[in-house]
Amino acid sequence: MREAIREIVAEEETCAYLPDQRSKIHYRLIEGCTPRSYQRMLERGWRRFGNCFFRPACQGCQECRSLRVDVASFRPNRSMRRIWRKNQDLRTILRRPSLSEHHLALYERYHTDMARRKGWTEKTIAPLDYFLTYVQSHHEFGYELLFLGGDRLVCVALLDVLPRAISAVYCYYEPGLRSRGLGVFSVLREIGLARARGLPYLYLGYWVEGNQSMRYKAHYRPHQILQGRPDFNEPPVWSEPEEPL
């Protein structure tokens, strides 16, 4: 199947990461995207959500900075090691994205908790919307990593497995088990998955200095930051920060 690509640059709107700023997003809607094509986009700062690939196109702002973890050199800190030990009783399953009543219930509990604690917009998701966003549009490279305590689904991490990387797409987990650090544990499992497959990087999306929810990404070291927004005919330049983020 040949790739079918439509490109859209959206109108300016309030930035989702820095509410006092304005943002503009460049979208590529791609049917039949290949792993190789997405690898090239990912290396140049693009992200995926469903069939939609996107990258900031804001004028005069470069605060959304793509961050990737150097898998071979990564060493967990003390807190990460503690979380790793705490969750060794969980069973993990890697498979193509799926939909069940357990997915939907967990997704809604997670977002209700985030709305209460962090001011997120509270929302529910219809089965069809979940299917179209996370299941139908996984392309050749989309997977879900399920975390189960016994037979209970406690965490879902959506990710892309590409020729030279794993890209973390989204993660939601049981809010009643927040003390387990399931979000951290899911990243550690993804790093382990990349290492087992000989993939050099785990991409964690955008790091935004002024956004509190994004700061955790800089804790996974060593990591590299993409310089600027290179075009497809330009080689991407990734470098380690001179000072810790």
Banded model confidence at residue 22, pLDDT cuts 50, 70, 90 = very high
Helix 78-86 vs helix 182-196: crossing angle, to nearest 10: 90
pLDDT at 109: 95
What mean pLDDT comes out for the span 116-134?
86
- Give the CA distances from residue 50 to residues 35, 58, 145, 160, in Å, rounded to whole numbers and listed in that order: 14, 22, 16, 11
Distance CA 132, CA 51 (A): 9
Say if CB 61 and CB 184 are below 8 A apart.
Answer: no
Q: Are 202 and 187 in contact (CB under 8 A)?
A: yes
DSSP state of 182: H
Q: Which residue has the higher pLDDT, 117 or 208?
A: 208
pTM: 0.94
| CB 166, CB 202: distance < 8 Å | yes
What does the alpha-carbon distance between residue 103 and residue 189 come to, in Å, rounded to a whole number?
Answer: 19
Q: Which pLDDT does position 2 carry in this prediction? A: 62
Model pLDDT, residue 243: 76
How remote is the C-alpha of 225 from its chain's centroid?
Answer: 15
**8 A C-beta contact, residue 180 and residue 83:** yes
Is residue 206 scored above 70 in pLDDT?
Answer: yes
Strands 142-149 and 91-95, bridge-based pairing? antiparallel
Please report the domains of the chain, with CATH numbers, ordered by start residue: 64-245 (3.40.630.30)
Element (H, E) at 16: none
Quote the distance between the C-alpha of residue 223 and its chain's center.
Answer: 15
Q: pLDDT value at position 46?
A: 98
pLDDT in tens, 142-197: 999 999 999 999 999 999 999 999 999 999 999 999 999 999 999 999 999 999 99
**Residue in the block written with tokens 């009543």:** 101
Confidence band, pLDDT 50/70/90 cuts, at residue 122:
confident
Does the structure show a pLDDT above 80 at 205?
A: yes
